[in-house]
Amino acid sequence: MANWLIRLSLQFQPVVNLMREVQLTADYLQGDETRMKVLNEPGMDPTGHKWIWVLRGGPPDKPVVLFHYDKSREGSVANELLDGFEGRYYQCDGYSGQIGAVDSNKVTVIGCIDHARRQFVKAEKALTKKAKSGAPAKCTVARSKMDALYRIERDMDKLDLSDEQRRAYRQEHAKPKLDELHQWLITNSTKVAKDTLTYKAIKYTLNQWERLIAYCDHGQLHISNVLAENAIRPFVIGRKAWLFADTPRGATASAMYYTLIETAKANGIDPFRYILHLCRHIAKAETVDDIEALLPWNVKDQLAR
């Protein structure tokens, strides 16, 4: 059965290739990566980590969630995935391999407040009972200041605002709190021991600061990379059940099916009906126009009927 799916995935490859071309025309993309075990990757330890990469985004009416398998986490993989990206914004965590994959002269890298906040949450969890019983620890104070930024986002989302109005709202409400947080981080970076998790969290946040606050400059941007993380979550949950892939061919096929399924969901299409539609029509798709007609946004109305 696995071999059947691998063979079928080869027929679907042109559809995914076109999805990727459409995705790279977007103004704003988000990226993430997660570990995957592949037992028979040549020259590598069966228990060692290989990687699934994810790119999320696309034109407003043509969202794509692209999964890609590679044995490496090196920046060259991100370079390949983002080759041809024509947009202005790329959002990721602080991993240098992701950051270095875009032209800094053309693309603004947006950081992820979630990743910075998790550093402080980790420090909170490591606090002793004695530390928790007194005045709020510095990691707790920093985390609460970040929580205030999320409340602003939730309040803003309740309003029907244009991108320009969202930018103005953030400049009025979030920017002052970010300035306050920045000053607090600078002041307290000299007041905590360098071998503590709190110091590590403060240094991480300060090192990423310009990227972390860049979301305030445009209304379409998000405070965190959570949409990419949400896109990769079904894979992470599934991994707990199927545990590993046997070969790179299987891992590549798996990435393709996750691409088709999650992109269908992002376009409001039932994944089973979409893949069944592909199975019925892919053999007749001989030209680029034929394949383009099979993209999710082009069959959405047809499947709805």
**Which tens digits make up the pLDDT trace of 6-57?**
999 999 999 999 999 999 999 999 999 999 999 999 999 998 889 999 999 9
What's the mean pLDDT in 211-228? 94
Phi first, then psi, for residue 218 (nearest 5°) are -150, 135
Question: What is the reported pTM?
Answer: 0.90
The residue ranges of every structural domain in the chain are 2-109+225-269, 113-217
Q: How far apart are the C-alpha atoms of 144 and 181, rounded to whole Å?
A: 10
Question: Regarding the domain delimited by 2-109+225-269, which CATH topology (the fold level of the hierarchy) does it fall under?
Answer: Nucleotidyltransferase; domain 5 (3.30.420)
Q: How far apart are the C-alpha atoms of 240 and 238, rounded to whole Å?
A: 5
93 has pLDDT over 90: no
